[in-house]
Amino acid sequence: MVPTILIKPFRQLSEVEKKGVFDFLYTIFGESYNEMVWPTDDWVTQAYLQDQLVTLVEIIERTVRVGDLDVKVGGVGGVGTLPEYRRRGYASLALKETGRFLHENLKVSFGLLLTNEKLEPFYRNLGWRRIIAPVAFDQPGVKISANGVTMFLPCAEETWPPGPVDLCGYPW
């Protein structure tokens, strides 16, 4: 079955829909979701089978600092599929649609995401590339070095610039 994929501005979601997003994230990530401060989403990609939300992707519009350059990105986070719907390609479909949205609608230079070693091959198969540079982000009162893997998705005819990456805000 092919899911219906919708991309909506987060601020235009009803309070019930927003609660559904938070409940979904808690279901996928559990207590680890509460361990850091996160920004409010700008957009959400949602994949539905009938009325059931099965996959979610969060999108944050941000200008980050790479070396001495400001780079417009679409931060991609909160990627998850309910356990009983995994391994059916729903996250891949949602991420492909998110990539198209980043390129055509937001007109950002790159998608940018933080993940772990285990998931790197999944994203690589969808066109994401690993960044080999230190990455830092904000938490209340402190700058934190990111652990794990940071990846970019080209959305324009640009090359990822060299240098350390500062997300210039909370991570996504």
Give me the average pLDDT of each 10-residue run along the chain (172 residues).
Answer: 95 94 90 83 96 96 97 96 95 98 97 96 97 97 95 94 97 94
> What pLDDT score does 1 carry?
84
Where is 95: in which H helix or E strand? helix 90-101
> What pLDDT score does 35 carry?
80
SS3 content of the chain, % helix, strand, coil (to 5): 30, 40, 30
> What pLDDT score does 42 carry?
97
Strand partners for 131: none
CA distance 161 to 91: 28
> What pLDDT score does 67 carry?
97
> What pLDDT score does 71 carry?
97
Number of other CB atoms surrounding residue 34 within 10 Å: 11
> What pLDDT score does 78 carry?
93
> What pLDDT score does 31 carry?
78
In the three-class reduction of DSSP (H, G, I as helix; E, B as strand; rest coil), residue 168 is classed as coil
Cβ-Cβ contacts under 8 Å for 140 (sequence gap 6 or more): 37
> What pLDDT score does 34 carry?
72
CA distance 38 to 47: 22
Name the residue among 37, 101, 46 with its Cα closest to residue 74.
Answer: 101
Domains of the chain: 4-166 (3.40.630.30)
